[in-house]
Structure 1
Amino acid sequence: MYPNSPINQQPSQTEDDSTNNSGGTETDSTINDQSGSQDGDDNVPITDSPDDSQSTGDVHQNQPEVPINTDVPPPPHVNEVDHEADGDYVWNSSDVIDVRLNGNSITVSLASAATVDGSKVTIKSAGTYRLNGSLTDGQVIVNTENKETVRLILNNVTIHCSTSAPIYVMKAKKTIIILQENTQNYVTDGNSYTVDSNGEPNGAIFSTSDLTIYGEGSLNVDANYNDGIASKDGLIIKSGFITVVSIDDAIRGKDYIVIKNGHINLNAGGDGLKSDNTENVTRGYVSVENAVIQITAGGDAVDARTDFIMNSGQISVTSGGGSSNNIVAGNSAKGIKAIVSLIVESGTITANSADDAIHSNGTITINGGSFTLSTGDDAIHADDSLTINNGVFVITKSYEGLESAVITINNGNIHLASDDDGINLAGGNDASGSIPGDTFYSSNYHLYINGGYIYVNANGDGIDSNGAITMTGGQVIVDGPTIRMNTAIDHDKPFKMTGGFLLAVGSSGTQIAPPQGPDASSTQYSVMVTFTSKKPAGTIIHLKTNSSGTEIFTFKPIKEYKTMVFCSPVLTTTTYDVYTGGSSTGSITDGLYTGGTYTAGTKTTSFTISSIVTKVGPPPPPF
């Protein structure tokens, strides 16, 4: 193989799997990551956007400087501020007020702090309250005038309310639900609520103000009316074991959802995690770190009105019934969706989605992480730009693999399979026609490949750019289409290749849509071979020098093919022989052999390189 090429490089992973044992006890505790609270609404509107030796050589040798990509906009502002503050998780045990839930009645240890009306308790003052016991059909309400925090310690409680939110924060500066360690807590509601003029409350745990969930206990929410856990302001999950089953959205934080740790399992008829503030550009975001999250959603598993930020952790999602399911026109069933920007620093994402697995109406930046994606539409889609700086990607099923107006791949290990185009710049001409093309808002379509390892198995075009392609490094292997109207590589503007390794096989194309590869603007030699007849799937292609018999590559396509495009620093102005068939005793990875011995098949053709681009064989058929 290519010992110094990206095929043998493993992207660095800096995933932090450590946990924060915050605990849910009454002893004093402090927090390490502190960000000041920010209240208020700026009311800023948001708009949608819609060698001739046995070695085959080092693909990075003589690699030029990477060109500056001027097509990609500067990184967007990332929303990161939340309401967590010093002292949130600190309280004095002597100040705790006990609230005993006795089925159909309630007792409070400090009568002046709360009022009781049968099976309904209304907390009137800030402070720390410990809830014990169960309510058959009752409610815990927080309605305070104080400008201080209310803490609710759930200590093996079961609360059911048939006509409203079992836990309802009507008014408070901030409420923190504390899950006592080693406890199981249950909150369930009915399928019909009595609501106010604003349609509230509409969640089993509902807050009109900032809400935090913290502790090492368990919280189980069964929401039969609408949402599971909802905050009209911000929502922080600091820790805890949380399970939500909901008719509509599982967890909704209008201003933001910030998950700092915990184990979260969601099953939602609507969206899994949702932040939907449309009035303020500093709101409507979802942030994840350290947590382990599993989501099954009828709609989007994660829906962020502005940004999605993942710094670490694990997310596994199934949306819209999974990749084999068809979605109703107009519905959205994406894995992870962010309208403005989506940023992944590290972590693990597994998605099985009927719609796009990872989607942004704006930009996507991936700096690391591990991704396993299966989707009925695009695996990773960004309207404006997609930048991959590192990461391991396994795309087992997709309509199109990577799609954006501008795609930049600087590093990473990418394996993808697609029903149509593998890598698509600007939607392209979708051959299968089952899914409509996407709308893009830029005409500067461009694919930049500066490093990394990319393997594409596409039934449509392997790489389809409605603009230009620039490749300065990396390794790309394409098992392309068998249908003539599609080719392994298709581009409308120049394909300039100045470094790296490219090997692509596929159909013959037509005179209207001929197979393509690097052009005369390149500084590396390339060759395109068109065979006189189709070669069956599994027929080896072997390229060697004519004079010394040095092997350049041995490759075994997985589908029938008629053309081969090859560009590499190892090509020089000499004569080469092409063999098809035969066998090899080497090790094979993505069709490419390393080591071993090649037993010759049939010598198909020879060619001599004398110019940057060499074409061998007959032209494509008219149609």
Structure 2
Amino acid sequence: MNKRPSTLLAGLALAATLVFSGCSAGTGDTSEVAANTSSVSSPVAELSYADLDIDEADLSFDTADAVDITLVDGESEAGSGARVDGDTVTIDEAGTYRLTGTLTSGSVVIDAPDAVVDLVLDGVDITAADVAAINVVEADQVVISLADGSTNVLADTAGAAVDETAEDAPNATLFSSADLFLTGEGALSVTAHAADAITSKDTLVMAGGDVAVTAADDGVRGKDHLVISGGSLTADVEGDALRSDNESVADEPDAAVGVIWIDGGTLDLTSASDAMDAARQVTVLDGDLTIAAGDDGIHSDNVLRIDGGTVDITESVEGIEGAYMYLSGGDVSVVASDDGINVSGGAEALAEETTATTDDAAAQPDEAAGGGPEGGPPAGDASVDDLDSLTVSAMEGTGFGGPAEGDNGTRVLELSGGTYVVGTTSDGVDVNGSMDMTGGTLVVSSTENVRQGAIDVDDAFTISGGTLAANGMTTMAVAPGEDSSQATLALTFSGTVPAGTVITIAAEDGAQIASFTTAKASSSYIYSSGVLEEGADYTISVGGEITGTATGWLVLDGTASEGSNIGTVAASQS
């Protein structure tokens, strides 16, 4: 087997090893990063980068002796290791090849079993005769380097279609049956009319380059693994923007495939379906991500961790979704039309998860009758005109919440670090399982719909650290439970507070602790932080103005003025 010593991914593996040993690389204050081992034993274990067992690649290979391949319609030229047949250029030996020129109806094929092939794209424009402009039929490993300053274009032909009858037929404009690596300082534009833009049936690693893809289906797909550690990627696709879909996890829960791993780069993802979709695991350690998704912003069928980077989900149905979710870092904002953060699914056999419609109706409060926890307003109350008429009281217990969806198994949301700002027109955080918050900041603005809540946790909900601010309707509101060690103010109002109203919490001595500006009409507010003392009384005021630095709708250490004092509530741990 023609494999060479290589060290490219050693740094990435080291960073990942640090994260999974409790010391995160490039995430700021590592004291806030959890040990990244769940307190719950899940049926699908979280993978480290080393578990992926990705062969390293040398992306700084020497191009001095590269074989030149010049692409010209009907007149392409190739040196040793490659051959030309019409407008098809085939590379069948290991080596480094520099490609320049244009093919208006052709392709470059790599058919070099067990070989390492390096391609330098240095001003290439290839429109395929059919689906694949570059087709890796067989190789051990292929590295595509975009020459510094170069602009490269790959496209399939308009009207192309994947041959569903042929085994291993290309389904992407840039298609590989082998491990594929993208690097360099140049630009690459990929257009796919038939299906995917860039696909590897094995591992796909993007370590550099300025890449833009448009596709009728998925944008960038690594069936076993999709790793992004550098460069920039712009995707505008009709399917998933990023996808890793090896589903052997269904039969082998410990299989280290179906993984999206982000540890750098700048990503601007627009998708008609999910922006990220992984069968096994999504891990985000670093990077600058902007997402507009027609379905989920970030989706994993099983494990999902965010430990660093900046994630801005500007549009989604459900923002972040996974069954075993560990949020330990990052600066994350979510806009969603359904749940902002949703814990559901997973590999567990939850045969009883679907509840009969009649059972659901029985479990829900009667909206017409004004159901909900004691102390809350009738469901559907209009916003009050006079804020001075409001009164405030402590929520009874931990609130009502939504009906459990059957056996939740060990599904879990563990929030230990980072900043998460969530705005939805449904549940802000919906956990079909348990939730444990030990650190970080979570700020939620939920919907005016009385059948949804800022936080909805089916099983145990505990808090022992961090800052929580969740605003929504009372009927479905949920607050941390009795096993919490950090105090909480769980507030319900006598009427519906209008959008744009400042809610301020102050200590008995008048010191202002926190202010929240409602984005929608609401009737409940849950606030918890290490500043609160169990049993201490706190004054609640509404209205007026607030100055200070905001995290979403929350201002800490700000100054509120001209509000109306509507009552006093004691903080509690249940």
Aligned AA (2:224) = D
How big is each residue's C-alpha offset from its partner over 1:446-497, in whole Å with a ceiling of 9 and x where there is no partner? 11111112222213557426x9453322xxxxxxxxxxxxxxxxxxxxxxxx
Tell me by how many angstroms 1:239 deviates.
Answer: 1.0
Q: 2: CA distance between counterparts of 1:606 and 1:377?
A: 34
Per the TM alignment, residue 285 of structure 1 is displaced from its structure 2 partner at its CA by: 0.2
CA distance in 2, matches of 1:544, 1:152: 65
Is it true that 1:122 corresponds to 2:52 in the alignment? no
Aligned match of 2:8: 31
Maintained 8 Å contact 1:225/1:247: yes
Alignment of 1:386 onto 2:413: yes
The structure 1 segments of at least 4 consecutive aligned residues displaced by more than 4 Å after TM superposition are 68-75, 534-545, 552-568, 576-602, 604-607, 611-614
1:406 counterpart = 2:434: yes
Cα offset, 1:210, TM superposition: 1.2
Residue by residue over 1:558-589, the C-alpha shift from the partner in whole angstroms, topping out at 9 and shown as x without a partner, is 588889999952746xxx89897897999797
Which residue is 2:465 aligned to? 451
Aligned CA distance change for structure 1 residues 566 and 173 (closer, same or farther; 3 Å): closer
**AA matched with 2:296:** K
In structure 2, the residue matched to 1:178 is 145
Q: Report the CA distance shift for 1:92/1:356 in structure 2 as closer, same or farther (over 3 A).
A: same
Residue 425 (structure 1) aligned with residue 457 (structure 2) = yes
Per-residue displacement from partner, 1:97-134 (whole Å, max 9, x unpaired)? 11110133211122xx2221111111111111111111
SS at match of 1:356: coil
- 1:148 and 2:115 matched: yes
Question: Is 2:334 aligned against 1:373?
Answer: yes
Instruction: Report the equivalent of 1:297.
Output: 271
**Partner of 1:328 in structure 2?**
none
| Residue equivalent to 1:569 | 533
Q: Given that residues 79 and 283 in structure 1 are in contact (C-alpha distance below 8 angstroms), is that contact kept between their aligned partners in structure 2? A: no
Contact kept, 8 Å, 1:375 with 1:398, in 2: the verdict is yes
**Structure 2: tracts of 5 or more residues without a match:** 14-36, 250-254, 345-410
- Whether the 8 Å contact between 1:553 and 1:592 is mirrored in structure 2 is no
The equivalent residue for 1:283 is 257
- Residues of 2 paired with 1:212 and 1:83: CA distance? 11
Give the TM-score of the pair, scaled to structure 1: 0.65
Cα offset, 1:592, TM superposition: 8.1
Shift of 1:233: 1.0
Task: Provide TM-score, normalisation by structure 2.
Answer: 0.70
Among 446, 460, 478, the alignment partner of 1:464 is: 478
* 2:473–2:523 CA contact under 8 A, matched in 1: no
Q: Any idea what SS the aligned residue of 1:192 has?
A: coil
**Deviation (angstroms), 1:277:** 0.5
Deviates more, 1:198-207 or 1:183-192: 198-207
SS at match of 2:218: coil
* Cα separation, 1, equivalents of 2:47 and 2:6: 29
Per the TM alignment, residue 415 of structure 1 is displaced from its structure 2 partner at its CA by: 1.7
Q: Counterpart of 2:417 in 1: which secondary structure?
A: coil
**CA deviation after TM superposition for structure 1 residue 263, in Å:** 0.4
Measured in 2, the distance between the counterparts of 1:211 and 1:585 equals 53
CA distance in 2, matches of 1:563, 1:252: 43
Secondary structure at the counterpart of residue 308 of structure 2: coil
User: Structure 1 residues 231, 345: CA separation in 2 closer, same or farther (over 3 Å shift)?
Assistant: same
Contact 1:207 1:231 in 2 (8 A): yes
Which of 420, 423, 436 is equivalent to 1:396? 423
The residue number in structure 2 matching 1:359 is: 321
Structure 2 CA distance for aligned equivalents of residues 316 and 579 of structure 1: 37
**What's the CA shift string for 1:168-203, capped at 9, x where partnerless?**
111111111111111000001112247352361111
Given that residues 104 and 137 in structure 1 are in contact (C-alpha distance below 8 angstroms), is that contact kept between their aligned partners in structure 2?
no
The amino acid that maps onto 1:365 is Y
In the alignment, structure 1 residue 309 sits paired with structure 2 residue 283: yes
CA contact (8 A) 1:217 1:240 kept: yes
SS of the residue corresponding to residue 93 of structure 1 reads: coil
Question: Superposed, which structure 2 residues align to 1:482-501 within 5 Å?
Answer: 500-501=487-488
Distance 1:552 1:303, change over 3 A: same
- Cα–Cα, structure 1 residues 82 and 507, in superposed 2: closer, same or farther, change >3 Å? farther
8 Å CA contact 2:312–2:333 kept in 1: the answer is yes
Q: Distance in 1 between matches of 2:87 and 2:560?
A: 81
Change (3 A) 1:503 1:91: same
Match of 1:101 in 2: 71
Structure 1 residue 613: Cα displacement: 11
Give CA-to-partner distance per residue, 1:140-179, whole Å, 9 cap, x none. Answer: 111123x220111111000011323111111111111111
CA 578–291 in structure 1, closer or farther in 2 if over 3 Å, else same? closer
- How much identity, in percent, do the aligned residues show? 24
| Aligned counterpart, 2:218 | 249
Structure 1 residues 501 and 612: alpha-carbon distance in aligned structure 2, compared to 1, 3 A threshold: closer
Q: Residues of 2 paired with 1:566 and 1:87: CA distance?
A: 51
Contact 1:105 1:135 in 2 (8 A): no
3-state SS of the aligned residue for 2:72?
strand
The alpha-carbon distance between structure 1 residues 588 and 267, as it changes in their structure 2 partners (threshold 3 A), is closer
1:278 CA displacement: 1.1
Q: Is the 8 A contact 1:79 1:282 kept in 2?
A: no
- Aligned pairs for 1:48-127 (under 5 A) are 73=42, 76-80=45-49, 81-85=52-56, 87=58, 89-91=60-62, 93-94=64-65, 96-110=66-80, 113-127=81-95
Say whether the 8 Å CA contact 2:467–2:527 is kept in structure 1. no
Q: Note if 1:228 corresponds to 2:177.
A: no
Report the residue type matching 1:471 in the other structure.
S
Change (3 A) 1:585 1:106: closer
Change in 2 beyond 3 A, CA 1:507/1:447: farther
Give the distance between the partners of 2:517 and 2:98, measured in 1 at CA. Answer: 66
* Local SS of the residue matching 1:312: strand
Whether contact under 8 Å (2:512, 2:559) holds in the other structure is: no
AA matched with 2:127:
H
Counterpart of 1:207 in structure 2 is 176
Higher relative contact order (CA 8 A, sep 6+): 1
Q: Equivalent of 1:505, from 492, 495, 499?
A: 492
User: Residue type of the partner of 2:310?
Assistant: T
Is the alpha carbon distance of 1:129 and 1:450 closer, same or farther for their aligned partners in structure 2, counting shifts above 3 Å?
A: same
Alignment of 1:265 onto 2:234: yes
Letter matched to residue 340 of structure 1:
N
Structure of greater Rg: 1
Give the Å deviation of 1:228.
Answer: 0.3
Q: Residues 472 and 140 (structure 1 numbering): CA distance in 2 closer, same or farther, change over 3 Å?
A: same
Unmatched 5+ stretches in structure 1: 1-27, 37-67, 321-332, 427-444, 474-499, 509-533, 615-623
Q: Return the alpha-carbon distance in structure 1 between the equivalents of residues 287 and 558 of structure 2.
A: 38
Contact 1:72–1:385 (CA under 8 A) maintained in structure 2? no
